[in-house]
Structure 1
Amino acid sequence: MWHIGLCIAALVVISITYWVYKWRNPKCNGNLPPGSMGLPLFGESLQFFAPNRRWDTPPFFKERIERYGTIFRTSLVGLPVIVSSDSELNQMVFQQEGHLFQLWYPDSMTKVLGKQNLGSLHGYMHKYLKNMVQNLVGHASLKKMILEVESVTTRHIEKWANQETVELRTATADMIFDLTAKKLISYDLEKSSENLRENFDDFMMGLVSIPLAIPGTAHHKCLKGRKKVMKVLKNMLEERRAKPNEANTDFFDYVLEELKKDDTILTEEIALDLMFLLLFASFETTSLAVIVAIKLLTDNPRALKELTEEHEKILRDRENPVSGLTWKEYKSMTFTFQVINETLRLGNVVPALFRKALKDVKFKGYTIPSGWVVIVCPPAVHLNHENYADPLDFNPWRWKDLDLTGASQNFMAFGGGLRFCSGADFARLEMAIFLHCIVTRYRWQLVKGGGIVRTPGLQFPDGFYVRFSKKDKHN
């Protein structure tokens, strides 16, 4: 009997060895990029999600780029992945949307953002929804809302100045949520029985996380928050249908009008997922970018001085000192846009962009197999000394003669190609107006916190506590 047991044991060992070999040496019709697939099933997920407290390219990417080059293979949460910090490949990935590559989200993100969210839809439906969003945040709409953005921003900062200290990460998120929720769904926290804002607190931490829906995990908190928000949006949809708003004052009214059309391709599920995504995306990343800007300006007095001078000149040149910002004044904020671009480059609020190969793709002697996930890594591009001199330095002046609005091979803060972020101009507007309001009327001092950690999303784990004081009008 012992020899039968020995044979079974040998077969098990051979089977496991073969399985591990196949895992480490994936099938490919060509040459795979170099790299390691890590442990079976887990891959290199633990290394990818490991906390990092530096502005530099996360160690997971940096160490492998140094070892394998700008294109390498790995595995994350059981999926085969190609990681790219190669500017030419990144450009191909963006430009060949729908042909060679397609936008893709990890399961953890899809569950949170919704199966019918804007990012998961393709072709005509994606174009249709993107055009809808442009009605909200296109140039014509931004020109109309500039005074409203300034008013909301001013009101919030005045409230902060009356407090001993303010935790700026939470405060700016509240401010931007206040504005965008009103524009999207006419939501007013003071008049609502539901606090929508609090349900978004854990979203960024859980959005790109190990997808374990176990109580206490970031992913589980994320899903609970989504469920609550979707319930509120569903109830609001039913209320609007029962009692239409004839004034058509917000984006929800526009969506409802689309749903009423006989030939519409919009469904209720898609509409609700769209509202959810816009609520989340419009405040979370922008508020984080605002905090990064304040932190970097706090640490760089020269940049803060030049920024302040630009905005004080805007006030001096006005015919009516008490009038609000104009579109012409906004477009004149040259150094402000340099600060914003440098903030986005150095801050890397979006640490990774996900795509999937639709067919085998040949590039520089390598083959990216069909069905493999492709991760474009903005930090590795934005913090590459070959693309930017002294890349870890906050240097807004480097943008003086560069494009300040679009995407390029070396700047992808808002993505690129067909998937270039629809809200990019809105985000820049919010950041510019916030900086205008704060540097012309207030001083601030860091009280405590301000340290960062990436997991891989950017966080301020100890908060960002600031004390504001009003400037003397004669200064």
Structure 2
Amino acid sequence: MVGLKDSGHGRLHLQSSLSIVDVFSQQIVVGLTLSAEIELHSIISAAQNFEDQSWPLTVQGRSSAPNPGLSVVALLAVYVSQHIYRWRNPKCSGALPPGSMGLPMIGESLQYGPIFKTNVAGRPVIITADPEFNHFLLRQDGKLVDTWSMDTFAEVFDQASQSSKKYTRHLTLNHFGVESLKEKLLPQMEDMVCETLRKWSSEESIEVKGAAVTVSIELNHLPCMTNTWLHVQELHFDIFLPWQMTINFAAKQIFSGGLENAPLNISEMFKDLVEGLMSFPINIPGTAHHKCLQIHKKVRKMMKDVVQKRLAAPERTQGDLLDHIIQDMDTETYIKEDFVVQLMFGLLFVTSDSISTTLALAFKLLAEHPAVLEELTVINEVLRLGNIAPGFFRRALKDIPVNGYTIPEGWVIMIATAALHLNSNQFEDPLAFNPWRWKNIQPSVVSKCFMPFGSGMKQCAGAEYSRVLLATFLHVLVTKYRWAMVKGGKIVRAPIIRFPDGFHFKISEKSN
């Protein structure tokens, strides 16, 4: 059995500070607070002693008047030090889980165990990789916890009301759920995949510029398994061609729009959008977050133009998701033009982002392990190793007891799915690509330690859509094409999957 031999295989060591840093910093904070208070007391006492004397007094030619700047500095020092002390010692009705609120350091998960407190971008967060607690927590949505988003996500994806959230979920299931897949989407998916792979194997050159991550498929005189030679032309494409394929397909379902001739390169822009979502939220020109917000504005403007044209000609119906939303505008008061635009943007993003990365990862893993092509469980194994979402966030609606500790109301909880998927206690040799493992895995392990699309009431509404699209793509690829990896393929997580050294394949259509 061959494991993934690269430094970015996804072993999760969640970051926080070491305990020695906390002890040392806490001593500094306490000392700073005490010294600042003593200094401030001295200044006030001196002012009271001299309040009846004429000013300025001089001692050896120097003014003895109090320095107001020193008072300001002392007050500021007291305020800052007390704020730091409160931050490092948050109030809690019980005992907080172990951990540190200091600067992030590597090794907290090893030092404190599967549940610990830490500091993420200045916010107190509980990290949990405990299967039992995660399983319990994801079934408490609306009771003990509610969904929560990082600041970067909240700024791009507007936080909707509960009514609009329910509407969005119902709409997604209606157009991308199991029934829709059976009735119309599956044949369309197969046609789309066949056409895409045919183009990849026939066009002389395909190249997408500006990609930090490159996947190249090189077609040349490729020997077939029949010992004959199949002449094909050279083809270059990068990892974002799966983005183009999935985005174009989703766009046709959402607003009957083909994006091949769109004024914006949506696939390239969504790649930059993902980078910005994972960055520190500093909105300054030149930062990834600033670029992310600019992309959001541009794509929304394009979506707004689509919506306005459809509203201006209501008689020209397409039978797509946008028509469905426009019809509901008469009955649902919260459905305004901005809501429709944001909903279309969000659906287009979520129905293309994770799928494209999973397809690229499947290319790599199947090329390295051709013996698994007949295994139906290969999709589960790709999703387990993929860990497309590093985790799910929840916010505590009330104090939550766990293992003798208390998670305070209002604190954020991160359910670290990557730590579950790569847990050696549940998956033997977890970094190895081994689809056969699923034949012997207990159902309880699957339900509590395998959640590529979440779990519980708020599991991803597009989970089945993603699975079927992935299965369809792999089916056509395996039955009609041959391919082999030439070079590259190193995987890193920062925190999502990337291929920094490129990804080169040889691929050809099978001879009849």
Q: Would you call these one fold, judging by a TM-score over 0.5? A: yes
Paired residues, number: 416
- Structure 2 residue matching 1:156: 3-state secondary structure: helix
Residue 6 to residue 231, structure 1, CA distance change in 2 (3 Å):
closer
2:236 to 166, 169, 190: 166
Q: Is 2:164 the counterpart of 1:153?
A: no
Q: 1:223 deviation in Å? A: 1.0
State the shift of 1:248 in Å: 3.4
Whether 2:97 is the aligned partner of 1:33: answer: yes
- Are the aligned partners of 1:204 and 1:457 in contact in 2 as well (CA < 8 Å)? no
The answer to whether the Cα contact below 8 Å between 1:167 and 1:464 also exists between their aligned partners in 2 is no
The equivalent residue for 1:186 is: 256
The alignment yields a C-alpha RMSD, in angstroms, of 2.3
Structure 1 residues 132, 402: CA separation in 2 closer, same or farther (over 3 Å shift)? farther
The answer for the alignment partner of 1:358 in structure 2 is: 397
CA displacement at 1:472 relative to structure 2: 2.1
Q: Which residues in structure 2 correspond to 1:145-294 (within 5 Å)?
A: 145-162=185-202, 163=204, 164-244=234-314, 246-259=316-329, 261-294=330-363
Amino acid at match of 1:105: S
Relative contact order: is structure 1 or structure 2 higher (C-alpha 8 Å, sep ≥ 6)?
1
If the length of structure 1 is used for normalisation, what is the TM-score? 0.82
1:402 deviates by 5.3
Structure 2: distance between partners of 1:301 and 1:173: 24
The letter of the residue matching 1:85 is A
Q: Residues 388-431 of structure 1: CA distance to partner in whole angstroms, max 9, x if unpaired?
A: 11111111112225589x97211111011121001000001110
The question of 1:387 aligning with 2:426 is answered yes
Paired position in structure 2 for 1:64: 108
Matched residues in 1 for 2:154 and 2:442: separation? 33
- Alignment partner for residue 471 of structure 2, among 421, 432, 445? 432
Aligned: 1:419 with 2:488: no
2:151 to 107, 126, 134: 107
Residue 346 of structure 1 aligns with an amino acid whose one-letter code is L
| Match status 1:296 vs 2:365 | yes
SS at 2:358 equivalent: helix
TM-score normalised by length of structure 2: 0.76
1:249 CA displacement: 2.7
CA distance in 2, matches of 1:9, 1:208: 37
Q: Secondary structure at the match of 2:119?
A: strand
SS in 2 for 1:249: coil
Q: Cα gap change, 1:281/1:262 in structure 2, threshold over 3 Å: closer, same or farther?
A: closer
2:307/2:337 contact within 8 Å kept: no
Deviation of 1:217 after TM superposition, in Å, equals 1.8
Aligned to 1:349: 388
When residues 191 and 424 of structure 1 are mapped into structure 2, their CA distance, relative to the original with a 3 A threshold, is same
Q: 1:85 aligns with which of 121, 129, 140?
A: 129
String of CA shifts for 1:38-76, please: whole Å, max 9, x gaps: 14xxxx3xx6xxxxxxxxxxxx5xx22210011000111
Distance 1:248 1:407 in 2: 40
Would you say the 8 A contact 1:248–1:254 is kept in 2? no
CA contact (8 A) 1:82 1:373 kept: yes
TM-superposed deviation, 1:251: 1.0
1:236, 1:9 → 2: CA distance?
A: 56
Q: Secondary structure at the match of 1:197?
A: helix
8 Å Cα contact 1:94-1:417 kept in structure 2: yes
Question: Residue by residue, what CA displacement relative to the aligned partner does 1:127-152 show, whole Å, maximum 9, x if unpaired?
Answer: 22211111111222101221111111
Q: Is the 8 A contact 2:189 2:472 kept in 1?
A: yes
Distance 1:36 1:342, change over 3 A: same
Distance in structure 2 (CA, Å) of the matches to 1:291 and 1:21: 47
1:126 Cα deviation from its structure 2 partner:
2.3
Q: Distance in 1 between matches of 2:397 and 2:65?
A: 51
In 2, Cα distance between the equivalents of 1:109 and 1:263? 25
After superposition, the C-alpha distances for 1:292-318 in whole angstroms (9 at most, x for unaligned) are: 1111111213213xx2xxxxxxxxxxx
Cα distance in 2 for residues equivalent to 1:199 and 1:168: 14
Residue 23 of structure 1: which of 70, 84, 87 is its match? Answer: 87
Give the aligned residue type for 1:156: T
Amino acid at match of 2:395: K
Of Structure 1 and Structure 2, the greater helix share is in 1
1:14/1:297 Cα in 2 relative to 1: closer, same or farther (>3 Å)?
same
Structure 2 Cα separation of the partners of residues 367 and 383 of structure 1: 27
